[in-house]
Chain A
Amino acid sequence: MYTQAIDVGPVDATASRSTTPQDDEFLKRIARDEKIEPQDPMPEAYRKTLIRQISQHAHSEVVGMLPEGGWITRAPSLKRKEILLAKVQDEGGHGLYLYSAAETLGVSRAELIDALHSGKAKYSSIFNYETATWADIGTIGWLVDGAAIMNQVPLCRCSYGPYARAMIRICKEESFHQRQGFDIVRTLCQGTPEQKAMAQESINRWWWPTLMMFGPHDADSPHTGQATAWGIKRITNDDLRQKFVDVTVPQAEFLGLTLPDPDLKWNAARGHYDIGRINWDEFRRVVNGDGPCNAERMHDRVKAFDDGAWVRDAAAAHAAKAAARYATSPDTRIAA
């Protein structure tokens, strides 16, 4: 999954206007579409902006394990149970690649996790919505992961090498996630009337939050220009959102589902679907911590981390003991 387009602007606008000779060379490299690697010179604001974006993305993957993870133990067939377990595991793997990518910029995973737990760092607010029914597992895959793919594919061409390479693998896995979600919803739509109703009710709740994942309208995204100039952002929020809507509406029609937007209609002149007004008040409320599950998600993450402290301490203590034994007697086994 993906962190929505929040906070992608430069963390220090002054620094971004720096014109040192080194920065000129950096901008020329961006213009030539060269990848920037960890050891390369880069403006400080570029580095900090990337740390923030990549870590938000990593946090989103890890927090994103929770809403779906709650259904692993209740998945209604063994096949679905295995697929969901593997999918949530993938999200953890994405978190791991992304924390690693962020670490190449000179920050530690511990610092990043601390920022998440203290509330300083953001994650995608889509995960602050409730997964009330099994249909939500399908909807998250189909719509939320579908939106994530729209956002993420351009990031495979991001100017920062480690992030771009992580995104290539993540996109492959997200593509599987999207298809399994669509398959769940399709199966529900072809099932009993109760199953179909479950799917419709789920789409009713998730459609608008999914559209919010693309972030504010371009006119309200003052930092997009800088992120684009740095090769971090390739396509604007509104263009990505439009692309998602255009792809998804025919899929919903195929499934026989109604998208909950009375203003949704094909605009022949534009060659795109028009949509109704997005409730940005809700978006801001959820981003700022007042969504349906913000407190629960953070509680669960912090609890897992705190509960695991003794496990991590034991591993470190044993490693230190084993290393000490090895130092005095190299024949000692270091690890079991």
Chain B
Amino acid sequence: MLPESTLLTLADTCLISGHRLSEWCGHGPALEEDIALTNTALDAIGQARALLQVVAARRSPAITEDALAYLREPAQFANLALAAAPNTDYAHTVLRSLLLAAWLVPVWDALGHSSDHDIAAIAGNAAKEARVQRRHARQWWVRFGDGTAESRRRAEAAVAALWPLTGELSAVRIPGVDPDAVLSAWWDAVQDAFAEATMPLPTAAPPLSGELAAQAAQWRHALLGEMQSLARQHPGARW
């Protein structure tokens, strides 16, 4: 069985990125895009639920997915910093989705062969969903890089804000998953999208600095403060 810390890294990354995507619902740049982005939010939250249900059932005594999502302290969350980055504008959202999904696709592909059968089953479906998210984000990334002067300026600002957070990806270790293969697949997908978008590809980001990690912790704290607010006001209530 995969260790709980690994499952929480994946679950929390999916939950927090899904939450961020859900913030767009009703506020998207076009109706079609509002609906499409909400699909990716639903997929990410669905992946998080599936993983949290496994974690909750394996605890002794068993707990619930909601106890993990709503009652853990922010410091106990194990998400990638990138997932919590604020939406800022649509270029930031699209780039965050591209960078995360490009990493999740090879992770889910590898976990699809995991001997932890509960996780392999989740990964099989999640790999398909992550490909949809990667394709969707890539299409918009190309439009922004190769669109108008303003869209390119916003794309560049998104790179400046988010690229440093990718330094964390090389540090993630998942038992049974070759980190070099994951990173290589991530680079290929990102490089391809940046090339098509005519955007210069930055060099590999260094490991996350303490300052950036503290910033990411603040993002997560604020996000969870909102997400958990009602559930925490009514301890023990069922919804």
Contacts and interface: CB of A to CB of B under 8 A. Distances in A.
Given A72-B22, A85-B25, A88-B26, A194 B31 contact: no
B237 interface: yes
Interface string A43-68: 00000000000000000001001100
B38 A92 contact: yes
A195 B234 contact: yes
A310 B140 CA distance: 12
B126 to A, nearest CB: 15
A308 B28 contact: yes
Interface in A191-216: 191-192, 194-195
Nearest to A71: B230
Contacts of B144: 314
Secondary structure at the B interface, as helix, strand, loop or mixed, is helix
A89 B45 CA distance: 15
Contacts of B193: 336
A65 B239 contact: no
A304 B30 CA distance: 9
Nearest to B53: A78
Contact of A77 (B34, B38, B70, B142): B70
A37 interface: no
A219 interface: no
Interface stretch (A93-101, A152-160, A231-239, A264-272): A93-101
Contact of B238 (A99, A191, A318): A191
B147 A313 contact: yes
A88 B39 CA distance: 11
A161 interface: no
A220 interface: no
Contacts of B30: 308, 311-312
Interface residues of A, number: 51
A229 interface: no
A74 B27 contact: no
B23, B25, B34 pick with most chain A CB within 10 angstroms = B25
Contacts of B25: 65, 69, 72, 85, 88-89, 92
Given A307-B29, A314-B148, A78 B48 contact: yes
B150 interface: yes
A28 interface: no
Contacts of B231: 76-77
A65 B26 contact: yes
Interface of A: 62, 65-66, 69, 72-82, 85-86, 88-89, 92-93, 95-96, 99, 134, 184, 187, 191-192, 194-195, 300, 303-304, 307-315, 317-319, 321-322, 333, 335-336
In the complex, the 8 A-B pairs of residues with the closest C-beta atoms, listed nearest first: A308-B29, A314-B147, A314-B151, A69-B26, A65-B26, A311-B29, A336-B142, A318-B143
Given A96-B31, A333-B196, 8 more contacts: A66-B26, A73-B23, A73-B227, A74-B230, A82-B45, A88-B38, A310-B151, A335-B142
Interface of B: 15, 19, 22-23, 25-35, 38-39, 41-42, 45-46, 48-49, 52, 65-66, 69-70, 89-90, 138-144, 146-148, 150-151, 154, 193, 196, 226-227, 229-231, 234, 236-239
